[in-house]
Every structure is written in C-alpha cells, then in structure tokens.
Amino acid sequence: MFETKSGVFLIAGLGFFALSFLVMGLVPWTIQAGQKEQTVEQLAGAGMLHEFADLAERFPKQFQQHFPDGVTTKSLGEALAMGKNIYVAEACWHCHTQQIRPVSNEDRRWGPVSFAQEYQNILQRPVLFGTRRVGPDLIREGARRSNDWHVAHFYEPRNVVPTSVMPSYRWFFDEEGYPNKRGLAILTYVQWLGSWLDEYPYYYGEGPTPPVEGAVRDAKAGSKP
C-alpha cells in the first residue's frame, strides 16, 4: 500500500480526518458535556434587566396590560421566551447572526468572542448562530441602543438608518403606535442579548440591581481556565 503515492495520501487523509474529529469533536464534547442547560427561569432570575424596567416606565399602560405582574422575574422570563419565539418566527436569523468569531477582528466590531456556555440555555434552542450577515451580529446588541431607538427602528428602520434593507415590523405595535406585547417581548429579548457579560453596562447607581451573582455568570466563570 505504501509503495504508491495514492496509498500514502489515503492513509494520511484518513489520519487527518480522525485527528480533526478528535480535536474539534470529541475533546470539546468531553470538556462541555457536564454543562447544564439553563431554563428561562434561571436566565430571568440572573438579575433584573434595566431595559425591561425602563419599558415599564416608558409604556406604563401597555406594560400593565400585557405584563400585569409588573417588573418581576416571572414577567421577564415570559417576555424573553416570547421574544425568542418571535425572533425565530420572523426569521430575523435570515439576516442576523448571533456569534462573534475569533477572526477578522470581529471582536473589535461587535464585542467579546462568543464562548460555548452562552449557547447552553433554552433560549438558544434552536441555536441561533445564523449563517448570513445582511445586518449586524446581534449577540452583543443589548444596551448598545436605547429602547426608544429600537422602537423607532422596528417601526420603520429607514427612519433611523435611511439605507436599511430591514423590513418594518408594524405588527409589533398597536393602533396608536405603542409597542404591543410582541413589541415589548422582542425589545426585551434584543436588549437581553449579551447582558450576561461583564462588559454589559449595568447603570450603576440607578435602576435595578445588576445580576452580579447570576446563574449565567456562574456558567461563564466556570469556563475560565
């Protein structure tokens, strides 16, 4: 077999296939296998999201109507779960990714490179990596813009970004132009993306307590060498 060149290439090819399967499949699997998948309750319980409370102040009537419990972890969990379902249903993932790769200076553009634990939760089922970037990556979108900006943007993207090809989502709003339940949910979800990172601004000194000892952070801390 080793007398011919093709024999050597065949063995080398199989060898490298086995090596890449080991290095990129089995080794990461053994490292990450013990990670528990987090539930919505755990994610919401990691700490109150500043922007969720801000929505309650900004749109008190609509908030009260759709989240009668007020600014609680239960309401937050409900909004997050619904927001993620809308993100899937509206196919936002056709145009947006949720993964910062360690190449092409992506971390300079969007923020810290993604790590495995971020995807080990129920809001990443199905995993929303996405494949195309017609619009920017969104996994670090939280707190980058104000709620007001997002409201104006979802209502009509071209009002804020004249060259945008993003569709307008009028059905996130009621007849008077205020966000309805879907609107409040997708806003909460978008603002939540990246909120588990240390870099996320927590508006120290005002508003709700930052999620210092949240479940998500514990997972992240566990990932540090």
Q: What tokens were used for 182?
A: 């879907």
Rounded to the nearest whole angstrom, what is the least distance from the CB of residue 149 to ligand HEC in the complex? 8
Does residue 60 contact residue 184 with C-beta atoms inside 8 Å? Answer: no
Query: 216: helix, coil or strand?
Result: helix
Residue in the shown chain whose Cβ atom is closest to ligand HEC: 135
Each residue 146-185 as x (binds ligand HEC by CB under 6 A) or -, in order, gives -----------x---x--xxxx-x----------------
Whichever of 61 and 94 has its CB closer to ligand HEC, that residue is 94
Ranges within 118-147 binding ligand HEC (CB under 6 A) = 134-136, 138, 141, 144-145
Q: What tokens were used for 27?
A: 């080794």
207: left (phi over 0), alpha (psi -120 to 50) or beta: left
Using rule CB under 6 A, residue 194 touches ligand HEC: no
Rounded to the nearest whole angstrom, what is the least distance from the CB of residue 93 to ligand HEC in the complex? 8
Ranges within 91-120 binding ligand HEC (CB under 6 A) = 91-92, 94-96
Distance from the Cα of residue 37 to its chain's centroid: 15
Q: Which residues have C-beta within 8 Å of that of residue 4, sequence separation ≥ 6?
A: none
